[in-house]
């Protein structure tokens, strides 16, 4: 169903005194093909979406289709933390969505794959590709967790300059692109989940989109609010403040939510934006007090990058999610 990841990306120094993450990963079709019992360091499935058609349909800059393997190349050269006190995590790389004839077909394949990972102990890391795949990852996450418990609402937290609540109806034709992901999730799942959007910038969102988001009970936290309160506005948000170890959480991270100094190589980039170092601190604390089941990283564009900074930022987000405490 997926194209296997090129094994040359699984980096090794061939030195037992210098272990790299590329030596800790298994390439498998799906996680149920391996024994994942008793891995105290956690279990993580990595999947790639080498696809930027959704970005182009939304008028963004192409290049994100090259991101999954570029991020992998950087990530698998990293070393595990020297002071890691748990067993090492179990990493399995399940490959990339193939280049099927239509965007909708690729979305359907991706959704089928991530939906088959039903073990709640397996965390999913997805590498876009456009933010239209945020709908795919969010759909699989919500469907699993709404079925498991009606008592606890699952939470999606989106880091982004944009709301991504554009309608997918274009003159009577359905067009699913990178700006429609949360419109689609809200249309399908209504108020069965909480959605919090962090880092929104005023010049990136129309009044009508902002009002639609408010009317559909989306929690909106602007970049100004984050910076002026030193992240207190995020921690004090009613949804985030209510998160416990039993709350299912999915993190959707659009790289254009970061300032261009940290991540200029993405579909759209601004000098203003969230700081990567602040996001990593926030996320690590959030992971320690929630049941964060997945991390989606979208819209890294290697051809637009300088010194691979954006791809490195994406790799650091992966690293922070895996080695979370």
Q: For 1-25, what is each residue's pLDDT tens digit? A: 899 999 999 999 999 999 999 999 9
Kindly tell me if the per-residue pLDDT of 38 is higher than 60: no
Taking the CB of residue 37, how many other CB atoms lie within 10 A of it? 8
Taken in order of first residue, the domains within the chain and their CATH numbers are 47-78+122-322 (3.40.800.10)
How many angstroms separate the CA atoms of 92 and 44, rounded? 6
Q: How much is the average pLDDT of 224-242?
A: 98
pLDDT band for position 325 (cuts 50, 70, 90): low
Q: Which of 41-45, 53-57, 77-81 has the lowest mean pLDDT?
A: 41-45
What was the pLDDT predicted at 149?
A: 77
pLDDT digits (tens, 9 = 90+) for 66-125: 999 999 999 999 999 988 776 778 899 999 999 999 999 999 999 999 999 988 889 999
* pLDDT on residue 125: 98
pTM of the predicted model as reported, rounded to 2 decimal places? 0.96
DSSP secondary structure code for residue 169 in this structure: E
Residue 32 banded pLDDT, cuts 50, 70, 90: low
Rounded CA gap, 12 and 20, in Å?
6
pLDDT confidence of residue 84: 77
What was the pLDDT predicted at 306? 96
Mean of pLDDT values over 38-43 = 70
Burial class (CB in 10 A: 0-12, 13-18, 19+), 203: exposed
More confident residue, 87 or 280: 280
C-alpha span between 252 and 129 (Å, rounded): 13
* Token couple for 263: 């991540």
Q: What percent of the chain has pLDDT over 70?
A: 96
Tell me how far apart the alpha carbons of residues 12 and 126 are, in angstroms, rounded to a whole number.
Answer: 23
pLDDT number for residue 29:
85
3 state SS of 312: helix
pLDDT reported for residue 39: 57
For residue 260, what are its two tokens? 């261009």
Angstrom distance (rounded) from CA 145 to CA 321: 20
Mean pLDDT of the chain: 94
Ranking 76-90, 158-172, 193-207, 216-230 by mean pLDDT, the lowest is 76-90
Does 134 have pLDDT greater than 90?
yes
Lowest-pLDDT range, 83-87, 252-256, 300-304? 83-87
pLDDT tens figures, 141-177: 999 999 887 789 999 999 999 999 999 988 788 899 9
Mean pLDDT of 310-320: 98
């Amino acid at each position: 169903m997926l194209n296997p990841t090129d094994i040359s990306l699984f980096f090794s120094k061939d030195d037992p005194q210098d272990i790299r993450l590329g030596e800790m990963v298994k390439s498998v079709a799906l996680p149920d093909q391996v024994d994942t019992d008793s891995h105290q360091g956690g279990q993580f499935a990595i999947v790639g979406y080498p696809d930027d058609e959704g970005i182009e349909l939304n008028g963004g800059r192409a290049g994100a289709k090259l991101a999954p393997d570029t991020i992998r190349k950087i990530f698998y050269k990293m070393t595990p933390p020297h002071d890691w006190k748990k067993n090492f995590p179990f990493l399995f790389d399940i490959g990339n969505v193939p280049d099927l004839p239509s965007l909708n077909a690729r979305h359907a394949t991706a959704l089928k794959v991530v939906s088959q990972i039903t073990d709640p102990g397996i965390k999913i890391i997805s590498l876009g590709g456009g933010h239209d795949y945020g709908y795919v990852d969010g759909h699989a996450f919500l469907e699993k967790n709404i079925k498991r418990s009606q008592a606890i609402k699952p939470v999606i937290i989106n880091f982004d300059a944009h709301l991504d609540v554009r309608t997918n109806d274009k003159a009577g034709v359905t067009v699913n692109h990178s700006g429609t992901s949360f419109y689609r999730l809200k249309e399908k799942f209504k108020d069965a989940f909480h959605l919090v959007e962090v880092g929104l910038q005023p010049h990136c969102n129309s009044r009508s989109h902002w009002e639609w988001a408010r009317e559909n009970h989306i929690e909106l936290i602007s970049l100004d609010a984050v910076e002026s309160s030193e992240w207190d506005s995020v921690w004090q948000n009613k949804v985030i403040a209510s998160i416990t170890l039993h709350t299912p959480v999915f993190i959707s991270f659009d790289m254009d939510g970061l300032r261009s100094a940290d991540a200029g190589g993405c579909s759209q980039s601004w000098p203003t934006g969230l700081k990567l170092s602040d996001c990593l601190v926030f996320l690590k604390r959030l992971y320690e007090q929630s049941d964060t089941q997945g991390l989606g990283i979208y819209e890294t564009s290697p051809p637009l990058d300088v010194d691979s900074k954006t791809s490195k930022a994406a790799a650091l987000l992966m690293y922070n999610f895996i080695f979370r405490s």
